[in-house]
Amino acid sequence: MTSITEKIRRRYDRIAPLFDKMDRMVDDKYRAELIGRVHGEVLEVGVGTGANLKFYPENVNVTAIDFSPRMLSYAQKRAKECRAKVRLVQMDVQHLQFDDNTFDFVVSTCVFCSVPDPVAGLLEIRRVLKPEGRLLMIEHMLSDHFPIAIALHLLNPLIVRITGANVNRRTMDNLRMAGFSIQDMRFIGFVDVFRLIVAAPNRSP
């Protein structure tokens, strides 16, 4: 692990006991909608304390990874109450230890704000997705509205220091750079900051 990845991982270990009280960013109705689309083999990256786990149907196999062992220890409790078969593994999304073309769906909710090299993580997701697979995301990112974007840039250093998350990531650009096409995107919640995204891996030339 690079030193920056290790630093961010330690921040999530530190906030893990408080995370569920601090984090009310995404309404459960959007999580349920996103997870309602999956079937087959599913990879959830940055599962955190397992906020999405209760929404998986029973007929899917879920592999859920996170680089923070402490966040995973909270997810472990939720996995026991889950209808689907869930396997939790400590792993860095920037270095996935799965074969190419393994998963039908990859899910990420509020993860690519803190992955140190987001394009590297997205390239890894593209590698492990089947060619017909889909990446399903709910992510917050930099607003396209100038005054909001300025505010997010100004707030970013403080928020990174406390939580490890960036509020000014250009996630739509990062997806394109990693070879994804946007199939569907809509704003949820506060202006254009939170977005529900369905992305498909481009075929290699």
Ligand X SMILES: C[S@@+](CC[C@H](N)C(=O)[O-])C[C@H]1O[C@@H](n2cnc3c(N)ncnc32)[C@H](O)[C@@H]1O
Longest distance between any two alpha carbons in the chain, whole Å: 46
Kindly state the smallest distance separating residue 109's Cβ from ligand X, in Å: 4
Kindly state the smallest distance separating residue 205's Cβ from ligand X, in Å: 28
Task: Judge whether 117 and 166 are in contact, CB under 8 Å.
Answer: no
Residues near ligand X (CB under 6 A), total: 22
Considering Cα of 171, then 112, then 140, then 6, what sign does the dihedral take? Answer: negative
Residue 201 contacts ligand X per CB under 6 A: no
Residue nearest to ligand X (CB): 48
Kindly state the smallest distance separating residue 21's Cβ from ligand X, in Å: 12
Among left, alpha and beta (phi > 0; psi -120 to 50; other), residue 164 is left
Residue 25 exposed, middle or buried by CB count within 10 Å (0-12, 13-18, 19+)? middle
User: Nearest CA to 111 among 155, 58, 174?
Assistant: 174
Nearer to ligand X, 28 or 144 (CB): 28
172: amino acid identity, one letter: M
Residue 56 contacts ligand X per CB under 6 A: no
CA geometry: angle 68, 200, 141, nearest 5 deg: 55
Q: How far is CA 153 from CA 5, 138, 190, in A?
A: 21, 20, 16
Nearer to ligand X, 115 or 193 (CB): 115
Kindly state the smallest distance separating residue 11's Cβ from ligand X, in Å: 8
**Binding characters for ligand X, 113-142, by CB under 6 A (x = yes):** -xx-----x---------------------
Pick the binder of ligand X from 109, 166, 168, 171 (CB under 6 A).
109
Residues 61-80 within binding reach of ligand X (CB under 6 A): 65-68, 71
Q: Radius of gyration (Cα) for the chain, nearest Å?
A: 16
Kindly state the smallest distance separating residue 125's Cβ from ligand X, in Å: 11
Contacts with ligand X by CB under 6 A lie at 5, 12, 23, 46-48, 51, 65-68, 71, 92-94, 109-111, 114-115, 121, 165
